[in-house]
Amino acid sequence: MIHTSFDRLVVVSNRLPVVLKWEHERWTVRAGAGGLVTALAPVLSRNGGVWMGWPGTSEQADVHAPLEEFSQSQGYLLHPVILQTEDVRGYYYGFSNEVLWPLLHGFHTHCNFKLDYWEKYQKVNNRFAQEILQVTTEDDYVWVHDYHLMCVAREINKGLSRRKCGFFLHIPFPGPEIFLKLPWRRSILGSLLEFDLIGFQTSQDMMNFVRCLECLCSNTRVHTEQNLAWIACGDKEVTAGTFPISIDFDEFAELAASKEVSSRTDKLHMLHPDQQVILGVDRLDYTKGIPQRLEAIRQALIRFPDLKGKIALLQVLVPSREEVPEYQALKEEIERLVGEINGQFTEPGWIPVHYLYRSLPRADLVSFYLASEMALITPLWDGMNLVAKEYCVCNYREDGVLILSEFAGAASQLYSDAILVNPYDVNAVTEAIRRAFYMHPSERQSRMRRLRQTIKTYDIHFWLDSFLQAAFDSRPQEVPMAGFSTFLSSIDRL
Ligand code: ADQ
């Protein structure tokens, strides 16, 4: 572990990792869940660190005092960046959700390239930069997270003050044929070059970024060593690296082995004694490939009648961006498909698709992971996909099969022991389901054992250490990962 080369770690993300609620005439603050907080909290509290972000409340709400009180119980400071409602509309709902999210996932036809969104995005990035300059000193390390804040370093560097500043992108980075459609491509790429270190989930993402730079800057030079790349682009230099994010192995494994979870799991098994449960867990989003997955279940039941009455999909959907018409339409499409499939195939004692539309307590989610004989994780494009890793870690009985999209970042690490599928190829997904259904217990066990070992070695703490190590020593790490060309050529030879 390094972490001694800076005074304080200052994490900056769009949202603070807390849930604020106005209850009984006062604000209550609850810790947000998630691996990122679990991994960063010890480093933050050890060095008296800071987490900065929008609290998710309106500009009129005064949340400083409750956050300060909550900070004391956490051992690090939660610093709110207060934003005007109008700015949130353009920066968050507009540019982040309607431009960057679809573009960076390759859905450029979904983009709404409004100039006003871009202006608000820059304004809010500048607002974050000003707040960072006020809260931090030159001895702190500022670590900015995700696509909402790609221009923060540029805004900081406009003045005379300097900060050591790193950036991590949680979602994919597309190649030039997609990225260059962005009207503000030059400005975004130039802004990313203002960070000292840029972290990507996969080597594919990093190389896509380099290819975009090469298109706009003929004088781009790159030197790569293991997971790092030193890039010179005109008069700018930046280090980029691949740091596949992961989960807290011990936390999930312990919860999975707890009495509470195993008694719930046994109950679930009793409900489906002669069936294999296929689990799907996603946020409601068009990038997750849920209609295609449902279609694959329908086709599997048509093509392979031996699976009728023997498999059941348990699809858990977390509500997300419900106010956006496109997401409402997607939800309606999913619910229509669930209804159609159940109408077409249900028989007394067997329902092919079970559908839950809500957020779940962690213990419930983990008991679903443990009770399912397969996980069907088929995003059309995904930065990493933590659900894939959570499923494997919780499967300590080593009897589950992971069916995983080639387009999830997780495939670059888990490709040899998951069954990889192209989520657009419905027939291939149906065949993968059948293969998993009939997979011998010994093969299930050996594959799952290796999957769990990989995730244990490269867990969230490895991710954190390797990023900070690259930030301070520029020391490359060996992170075994494969690009498309490696894993596709091993399964899909011409
Ligand atoms: P997401 O798109 O949100 O994350 P993912 O990585 O799968 O996707 O994480 C989802 C998280 O939500 C998981 O930790 C899961 O446990 C939780 N969750 C899912 N269903 C739930 C439910 N019903 N109730 C409660 N919790 C639920 C973005 C990127 C990903 C990248 C991560 C981290 O889009 O590609 O892997 O950030 O970098």
Give the number of the atom of ligand 1 that is nearest the alpha carbon of residue 281: 20
Q: Which residues line ligand 1 at a C-beta cut-off of 6 Å?
A: 170-171, 245, 281, 283, 316, 318, 359-360, 365, 382-387, 390
Same fold, 9-242 and 249-457: yes
Ligand 1 centroid – CA 371 distance (Å)? 19
Pocket test for ligand 1, best of 386, 389, 402, 460 (most atoms within 8 A of CB): 386
Pocket test for ligand 1, best of 283, 327, 376, 380 (most atoms within 8 A of CB): 283
The neighbour count for residue 453, using CB atoms within 10 Å, is 13
Closest residue (by CA) to atom 9 of ligand 1? 386
Q: What are the pLDDT digits (tens) for 214-268?
A: 999 888 999 999 999 999 998 999 999 999 999 999 999 999 999 999 888 888 8
- Which member of 64, 110, 170, 354 is catalytic? 170
As a three-state string, the secondary structure of the chain is CCCCCCCCEEEEEEECCEEEEEECCEEEEEECCCHHHHHHHHHHHHCCCEEEEECCCCCCCCCHHHHHHHHHHHCCEEEECCCCHHHHHHHHHHHHHHHHHHHHCCCHHHCCCCHHHHHHHHHHHHHHHHHHHHHCCCCCEEEEECHHHCCHHHHHHCCCCCCEEEEECCCCCCCHHHHCCCCCHHHHHHHHCCCCEEEECCHHHHHHHHHHHHHHCCCEEEEEECCEEEEEECCEEEEEEECCCCCCHHHHHHHHHCHHHHHHHHHHHHHCCCCEEEEEEEECCHHHCHHHHHHHHHHHHHHCHHHCCCEEEEEEEECCCCCCHHHHHHHHHHHHHHHHHHHHHCECCECCEEEEECCCCHHHHHHHHHHCCEEEECCCCECCCHHHHHHHHHCCCCCCEEEEECCECCHHHHCCCCEEECCCCHHHHHHHHHHHHCCCHHHHHHHHHHHHHHHHHCCHHHHHHHHHHHHHHCCCCCCCCCCHHHHHHHHCCC
- Which member of 87, 196, 205, 382 is catalytic? 382
How many Å apart are CA 281 and CA 31, to the nearest integer? 22
Q: May I ask the CATH class of domain 9-242?
A: alpha beta
Q: What are the pLDDT digits (tens) for 382-419?
A: 999 999 999 999 999 999 999 999 999 999 999 999 99
Is 108 annotated in the active site?
no
The residues, any chain, with a CB within 8 Å of residue 448's CB and separated by 6 or more, are 392, 395, 398, 399, 400, 401, 402, 417
Give the number of the atom of ligand 1 that is nearest the alpha carbon of residue 288: 2
Ligand 1 centroid – CA 235 distance (Å)? 38
Q: May I ask the CATH class of domain 249-457?
A: alpha beta
Give the number of the atom of ligand 1 that is nearest the alpha carbon of residue 386: 6
Write down the pLDDT at residue 269.
78
Ligand 1 centroid – CA 283 distance (Å)? 7
Ligand 1 centroid – CA 82 distance (Å)? 26
- The domain limits of the chain are 9-242, 249-457
Pocket test for ligand 1, best of 249, 315, 355, 384 (most atoms within 8 A of CB): 384
Write down the pLDDT at residue 24.
87
pTM for this structure? Answer: 0.96
Q: What are the pLDDT digits (tens) for 290-333?
A: 999 999 999 999 999 999 999 999 999 999 888 888 999 999 99
Contact 345, 308 (CB under 8 A): yes
Ligand 1 centroid – CA 218 distance (Å)? 38
Write down the pLDDT at residue 273.
80
Which of 22-36, 155-169, 289-303, 439-453 has the weakest average pLDDT? Answer: 22-36
How many Å apart are CA 78 and CA 69, to the nearest integer? 10
Beta-bridge mates of residue 49? none
Tell me the HSE value of 63 on the side-chain side, using a 13 A CA sphere: 28
Alpha-carbon torsion 62, 68, 69, 70, what sign?
positive
Sheet with 77-80, edge to edge strand ranges: 77-80, 50-54, 9-15, 141-145, 164-168, 197-200, 236-242, 228-233, 220-225
Give the number of the atom of ligand 1 that is nearest the alpha carbon of residue 170: 38
Q: How confident is the model at residue 426 (pLDDT cuts 50, 70, 90)?
A: very high
Give the number of the atom of ligand 1 that is nearest the alpha carbon of residue 35: 14
Residue 433, pLDDT > 90, answer: yes
Alpha-carbon torsion 289, 295, 298, 301, what sign?
negative
Q: What are the pLDDT digits (tens) for 4-45?
A: 678 899 999 999 999 899 998 899 998 876 668 877 887 888
Pocket test for ligand 1, best of 13, 96, 147, 281 (most atoms within 8 A of CB): 281
Give the number of the atom of ligand 1 that is nearest the alpha carbon of residue 362: 25
Ligand 1 centroid – CA 24 distance (Å)? 31
How many Å apart are CA 348 and CA 323, to the nearest integer? 37
Give the number of the atom of ligand 1 that is nearest the alpha carbon of residue 316: 23
Ligand 1 centroid – CA 282 distance (Å)? 7
Contact 311, 351 (CB under 8 A): no
Contact 314, 354 (CB under 8 A): yes
Q: How far lies 474's CA from each of 179, 238, 477, 482, in Å?
A: 28, 11, 9, 22
Which of 197-201, 324-328, 384-388, 426-430 has the weakest average pLDDT? Answer: 324-328
Residue 443, pLDDT > 90, answer: yes
Mean pLDDT, range 142-149, rounded to an integer: 97
Q: How confident is the model at residue 494 (pLDDT cuts 50, 70, 90)?
A: low
Ligand 1 centroid – CA 299 distance (Å)? 27
Ligand 1 centroid – CA 281 distance (Å)? 9
Is 170 annotated in the active site?
yes
Q: How confident is the model at residue 130 (pLDDT cuts 50, 70, 90)?
A: very high
Contact 282, 318 (CB under 8 A): yes
